[in-house]
Amino acid sequence: MRTLLSFLSRGRDRARQGASIYNAIVEQARRPQFYESLDVPDTIDGRFDLIVLHAGLYLPRLKSVRTEGKALAQAAFDQMFVNFEHNLRELGVGDMGVPRKVKGMLSAFYGRVTSYDNAIKDGDTAALRAALQRNVYRGGGVAPPKLDALATYVRAAHEALKAAGDTDILAGTFAWPAP
């Protein structure tokens, strides 16, 4: 009985910690500078794309932490999609439409994260800019200096995450660079 209770307790603690990490990602993604200075559309889509961008940077780094990293990354990911589902319901999407919408969001998440990750790993600034233009700005017009500034921020955040200590990554207390 004792092991079952400790297992359940660990699961609740992990879920709470995953939620805390997800909340820190959302807090960064909602910084006004993205919308005011970098012209990211302050819309549902714009906010979704910034959350995906930040989660796509943070979660792989979290997974790399031995012991709890993978489990916490999964807990944060799960919390993100629980939150997306909740938001869809608040927006009036009916019960029958939610699974289809969530499936689309899941596909969008993986597609965007893959394109950002490949561009960063390859050091391909043009590919990163193209991915940000296509996803964050939805192919709309954005001044090249704003797009360049967002690409620079993404590379800086990636490097800062690589250099950050595992303790801060696990705790969700990583200090993101300024946008």
Token pair, residue 26, equals 């959302």
Cα–Cα dist 23/20, whole Å = 5
pLDDT recorded at residue 34: 98
Q: Which amino acid is residue 115, in one-letter code? A: S
The position carrying tokens 């699974």 is 99
Cα–Cα dist 152/171, whole Å = 26
pLDDT recorded at residue 174: 95
Token pair, residue 101, equals 């919408």
DSSP string, the chain: -HHHHHHHHHHHHHHHHHHHHHHHHHHHHT-HHHHHTS----SHHHHHHHHHHHHHHHHHHHHTSTTTHHHHHHHHHHHHHHHHHHHHHHTT--TTTHHHHHHHHHHHHHHHHHHHHHHHHHT-HHHHHHHHHHHTSTT----HHHHHHHHHHHHHHHHHHHHS-HHHHHHT---PPP-
Q: Which amino acid is residue 127, in one-letter code? A: A
The position carrying tokens 């092991």 is 3
* Residue ranges for the chain with pLDDT beneath 70: 1-11
Token pair, residue 14, equals 């992990």
Token pair, residue 96, equals 């029958």
